[in-house]
Amino acid sequence: MAMMTYLDAARAALAEEMRRDPTVWAVGEDLGRGGVFSQYRGLVEEFGPERISDAPISEAAILGAAVGAAMMGTRPVVEMRFSDFALCAVDELVNQAAKARYMFGGQTRVPLVVREPMGMWRSSAAQHSQSLEAWYAHIPGLVVVCPSTPADNKALLKAAIRSDDPVVYLEHKHLWPLEGEVPDGDHVLPFGQAAIVTPGSDLTIVSWSAQVHVCADAVATLARQGVKAELIDLRTLWPWDKETVLASAARTGRLLIVHEAVQAGGFGAEIAATAAEHITARIRRLGAPRAPIGYAPPLEDAVRVQAPAIVAAALGLVNGRQLG
Amino acid sequence: MAQPADTKKRGKARAPATKNAGLGGNQPGLTKDELLRGYRDMLLIRRFEEKAGQLYGMGLIGGFCHLYIGQEAVVVGMQMALGEGDQVITSYRDHGHMLATGMEARGVMAELTGRAGGYSHGKGGSMHMFSKEKNFFGGHGIVGAQVSLGTGLAFSNRYRGNDRVCVTYFGDGAANQGQVFESFNLASLMKLPCIYVIENNKYGMGTSVDRATASRDLSLNGAPWGMPGVQVDGMDVEAMHAAALAAVAHCRAGLGPYLLEVQTYRYRGHSMSDPGRYRSREEVQNMRSTRDCIEGARHKLESLGIEEAQFREIDDSVKRIVQDAADFAQTSPEPDVSELWTDILLEG
Ligand SMILES: Cc1ncc(C[n+]2csc(CCOP(=O)(O)OP(=O)(O)O)c2C)c(N)n1
Ligand SMILES: [Mg+2]
């Protein structure tokens, strides 16, 4: 075990995979300088500019070229720096990368990782703050990953790089400096395996990405009030670990899904609907209001799902009050 | 600014009448009064940006903040060639453009501090402001996004049959986005009155233009579509103004779009969090001490007989505006949380 930041864990994962497999390479804007968040620090020195490749500001061409290179059997890791910018390349991802394997009858695969740092990050306003994971989860052919801890960021990025299908890899910008224990060695997590962060018997809370940590605060508050919440970190949105979530919710009889993204049409809706179809439980979702993210701190805070709201929703479920 | 030799051969795409615009040829300069006005406008932007940098350092401005220091002559020279009703659209590096269009320093600074008195009521911040009154169409945070939007603003001018033009600014880095070339074709095909201004400040974040762009002459970027393009010395407000006049005349005459590649330089980092390791201190210092647009205008004005007292007067008036803006930006209240639900498509 080593203490590592979320950022360095991903950096280590990429470096280890590049050492292990000469077909792995990375491309994006400003990678040679270490990337905008310094997630690529030191890598060009080790691997050279052919493999840590700087690109002009041309997201569509970067991603499209990576799809082509992936079809030829190399494993590009594409850096989009903010998930908002990746929208400039959505055709290449959704119409090309996600469809190729199926549409061409299995003759080609697209082993591509698209890194898209997501989420709210100090006053970044409407075009640099979005959480769009549900969009990608909606697209057949894409794997969607949302790691919340340094250990997961290392193990899941390795899994993403080894995946033979395209992966949308959503790191949360707010988590870059988060420190945590990371297992030594070549630790790789399978997709679709949730983590039970805190076991509990009174209700099940499901979350992912940075929101897991806010939920953990809420769970601690609930514990002080005698409510034992089970907190599940989904880790990957597609595939998602239905078994773990449904088993937990069936046991506790109460399911609360919490995400930073806009609540309407969010991935919470998919989980809630699936639970409603398969088990008997009281279900509630919490997400952001359907409003763009404002710059001024009071407006930014107003769209955050904060611990008191989670506690209130959890208590509402546990006490069986009428849900508003 | 010298042109690479090979551009001469391909010069056909350029409008013959403006071939030398801004290249230090025998352009008619600004009158003394005009130059004085330009000097004052550039100084206002410079002092405003310095103040914004201070407020950022004090923690009163958050998030992204991209200063325009060094590039002032570009927007000021251009604006002096525009008329009532012409549109302007640009990227996130937008403070200078807004002040040049006559938007109030107060409203811009208060948006930087995220206050209700800001142009976007605190919703947008540094990168996202707008003024319907001044025909300023934003403030866009996605690199290149404003270029097709500006093309559409120009379309509406033609559609309505007026003779207004749209100035669409973007950076050397943004010049590599696909929609820029798509827009060039569209605007050329439809003969839209759009002036595309590439503000080539040599860097897109930490990537120098020669590392990001295979072309060595961005003024030729519209050539395949027959769009005239010229390189302009953007550190010289008079050169900028002369080039802008030619571009405006071309567009107003219904001859289609026009491209200006403006050679300029930003003195500060890309944004407030840029340590600037990709260029040397000497490079920046050299530009500041030999090419500064404000110093240049001042020398010219001195040679035209403007006295120290007059400069001091301008200085003082600019300082007052900036100080007033800074005060307002700190006393204007934060937006009420109910703002969250205004100007939204539908509540819910
Ligand atoms: C689509 C997109 N890609 C990347 C970015 C990140 N980014 C912001 S500014 C910038 C550099 C742009 O450089 P340039 O166009 O030269 O403008 P300058 O900042 O020099 O004024 C980059 C890469 C972004 N905001 N949007
Ligand atoms: Mg630039």
Residue B180: domain span: 29-205+215-326
Q: pTM of the prediction?
A: 0.94
Residue A58 has pLDDT above 80, yes or no: yes
Nearest-by-Cβ selection for A298 from B127, B211, B337: B337
Rounded CA Rg of chain B: 20
Tell me the best of A57, A79, A87 to mutate to test the pocket of ligand 1, counting ligand atoms within 8 Å of each CB and taking the most.
A57
Q: Scanning every residue of chain B, which has its alpha carbon at the shortest distance from the alpha carbon of A290?
A: B348
- Cα distance from A56 to chain B (closest Cα, Å)? 5
- Cα distance from A248 to chain B (closest Cα, Å)? 30
What is the average per-residue pLDDT within B130-148? Answer: 98
CB contact under 8 A, A295 and B120: yes
The predicted pLDDT at position B1 comes to: 39
CB contact under 8 A, B143 and A122: no
The CATH 3.40.50.970 domain(s) of chain A lie at 2-182
The predicted pLDDT at position A175 comes to: 98
The CATH number of whichever domain residue B101 belongs to comes to 3.40.50.970
- Asked whether residue B19 is assigned to any structural domain, the reply reads no
Catalytic residue IDs of A? 128
| Residues in the 5 Å CB sphere of ion ligand 2 | B 171-173, 201, 204
The predicted pLDDT at position A154 comes to: 98
Tell me the best of B90, B143, B284 to mutate to test the pocket of ligand 1, counting ligand atoms within 8 Å of each CB and taking the most.
B143
Q: Scanning every residue of chain B, which has its alpha carbon at the shortest distance from the alpha carbon of A297?
A: B114
CB contact under 8 A, A56 and B212: yes
Do B270 and B126 contact (CB within 8 A), yes or no?
A: no
Q: At what angle do helices B105-112 and B32-57 cross, to 10 degrees?
A: 20
Residue A320 pLDDT class (50, 70, 90 cuts): confident
The predicted pLDDT at position B346 comes to: 64
The predicted pLDDT at position B5 comes to: 38
- Asked whether residue B8 is assigned to any structural domain, the reply reads no
Taking the C-alpha atoms of residue B197 and residue B248, their distance in angstroms, rounded to an integer, is 12
- Asked whether residue B63 is assigned to any structural domain, the reply reads yes
Q: What is the mean pLDDT of chain B?
A: 92
What is the average per-residue pLDDT within A258-275? Answer: 98
Residue B18 has pLDDT above 90, yes or no: no
Helices marked H in chain A: 6-20, 43-47, 59-71, 90, 100-103, 133-137, 150-162, 211-224, 242-252, 267-278, 297-302, 307-318
Taking the C-alpha atoms of residue B151 and residue B195, their distance in angstroms, rounded to an integer, is 9
The CATH 3.40.50.920 domain(s) of chain A lie at 195-319
CATH number of A195-319: 3.40.50.920
Residue A155 has pLDDT above 70, yes or no: yes
- Asked whether residue B126 is assigned to any structural domain, the reply reads yes
Interface contact B348, partner A, CB < 8 A = yes
What is the average per-residue pLDDT within B262-278? Answer: 93
DSSP B3: P
User: What is the CATH T-level fold of the domain A2-182, as seen in this structure?
Assistant: Rossmann fold (3.40.50)
The predicted pLDDT at position B149 comes to: 98
pLDDT one-digit tens code per residue, B196-212:
999 999 999 999 999 99
Residue B7 has pLDDT above 50, yes or no: no
CB contact under 8 A, A127 and B141: yes
Do B229 and B261 contact (CB within 8 A), yes or no?
A: yes
Cβ neighbour number for residue A233 with a 10 Å cutoff: 25
- Asked whether residue B238 is assigned to any structural domain, the reply reads yes
CB contact under 8 A, A294 and B340: yes
Interface of B with A in 200-239 (CB under 8 A): 204-207, 211-213
- Asked whether residue B82 is assigned to any structural domain, the reply reads yes
Count up the domains in chain B and report the number.
Answer: 1
Name the residue with the closest Cα to ligand 1, atom 25: B142
- Cα distance from A59 to chain B (closest Cα, Å)? 8
CB contact under 8 A, B127 and A296: no
Do A233 and A212 contact (CB within 8 A), yes or no?
A: yes
The predicted pLDDT at position B276 comes to: 87
What is the average per-residue pLDDT within A35-61? Answer: 97
pLDDT one-digit tens code per residue, A168-216:
999 999 999 999 999 999 999 999 999 999 999 999 999 999 999 999 9
Taking the C-alpha atoms of residue B256 and residue B249, their distance in angstroms, rounded to an integer, is 10
Nearest-by-Cβ selection for A289 from B120, B178, B340: B340
- Cα distance from A161 to chain B (closest Cα, Å)? 27
The predicted pLDDT at position B162 comes to: 96
Residue B347 pLDDT class (50, 70, 90 cuts): low
Q: At what angle do helices B32-57 and B293-303 cross, to 10 degrees?
A: 150
